[in-house]
Amino acid sequence: MGDDADLVGADLAAALDSRGVPDGQPGPASGGPPRAVIVEDEQPLARLLAGCLSRAGFAVTTAYDGPAGLAAVRQVLPEVVVLDLGLPGLDGIGVCRRIRTFSDCFVVMLTARAEEADTLLGLSVGADAYMTKPFSPRELVARIAALRRRARLTAPAAASASPATADTSLVWGDLVLDVDGRTVRFEGSLVELTRTEFDILRVLAEAPGRVVTRSDMLGWVWGPGWVGDGHVVDVHIAHIRRKLAEAGAAADFIRSVRGVGYRLDDF
C-alpha cells in the first residue's frame, strides 16, 4: 500500500493494524508539546490522523462523537482541533459553535461534502480551515503548520504608525488595539474578538484608510502557503463588523471596496 497520502478516504484498517498507532496524551499545562484533539467518527481515519500529528510533534487526544469531542476540548484545552462535520450526537457545526464560547484554538473542519454552502457554514461558526475528503494527511499537517505560523506573522506596518505606538497599540479614531495584550476597545468598551478576528483587524489598523486586498489579507493572516476558500476573509469581516457595531461603531466602519478588499473607514 502507498504512503499516508494514499490512505485517507480509502481502506485504512490493515495499514493501521500494522502500525499500531496509539493516541498521544495531553502535554503539561506549560512547556510540553502542542496539543491537538481529533474528533472523527471514522475510527481508522481518526487513528491515522492521530499518528500523523503525533509524528509532527503534537500530543494527540481523539474522540469519536460530538459530545465526547467537546468534553475532550474542554479538558485538554488544545491549540488545534481537527473536527469532522458529520458526527453522531452533535455535529461538527454544533461542536465548533460551542468551542468558540470558551476557546480560540485553531479549528480545521473535515467533511465528505464539498458544497460551498457547507464550507461557508463551517467558517461562519468559527472554523479556521476546511478540508474535503479524501485528502492527504501531509496536507492536513501543512495546513495546521500554516495556521500556527499566523501567531508569528507580522503585517506590514503602516507608514503612519508612530514609533511611540507601533509596538504597543494601534489607534484609529475610537478604535484602540493593544498589540501586546491582544485586546480591542471601541469608545473604551472591550470588544471580544477571536484570534483570527484580531489578526484581521490588526492588518487593517496597520494600514488605516488604505485598502487591503483579500489576497493580501490571506497571505498576512493565514500565511503565504494558504490554500483554501477566500470567502473565509468575508466571513470573519462580518463577525468583526457585528462585534464593533455592538460596541457602537458605524456599520461601515470597515468598508468593502467592491472587487478589491477592505479598509478602515474615516472616523
Domain limits, the chain: 4-150, 162-264
Query: 4, 137 in Cβ contact below 8 A?
Result: yes
Interatomic CA distance for residues 229 and 122, integer angstroms = 12
Percent of the chain clearing pLDDT 70 (strictly above): 74
What's the rounded Cα separation, in Å, for the pair 52 and 56? Answer: 6
Q: List pLDDT tens digits, range 113-169.
A: 666 556 666 667 778 888 888 888 888 998 898 888 765 444 443 333 333 334 578
pLDDT band at 9 (very low <50, low <70, confident <90, very high): very low
Please determine, looking at this structure, whether the domain spanning 162-264 carries the CATH number 1.10.10.10: yes
Grid-cell match 490571506, residue found: 218
Segments in the chain forming alpha helices (H): 13-19, 43-55, 66-76, 92-99, 116-124, 137-149, 195-205, 214-217, 231-246
CB within 8 Å of 31: residues ≥ 6 apart: none
Instruction: Specify the range with the lowest mean pLDDT, choosing from 51-60, 148-157, 183-192, 202-211.
Output: 148-157
Q: Which amino acid is it at 255?
A: R
Answer with the residue of higher pLDDT: 69 or 151. 69
**What does the pLDDT read at residue 246?**
92
Longest dimension (CA), the chain: 63
d(CA 148, CA 126) in angstroms, rounded, equals 16
**CATH number given to 4-150:** 3.40.50.2300
Distance CA 93, CA 109 (A): 9
Q: What is the pLDDT of residues 84-113, one digit of tens each?
A: 999 999 999 999 989 988 888 889 999 886
128, three cell numbers: 479556521
Q: Please tell me the predicted confidence (pLDDT) of residue 191.
A: 93
What nine digits make up the cell of 225? 502557503
CA-to-CA dists, residue 206 to 12, 102, 127, 150, angstroms: 47, 28, 25, 16
Cβ count near 249 (within 10 Å)? 23
Alpha-carbon distance 93 to 91, whole Å?
Answer: 5
CA distances, 260 to each of 211, 212, 215, 217, 223 (Å) = 8, 8, 9, 11, 19
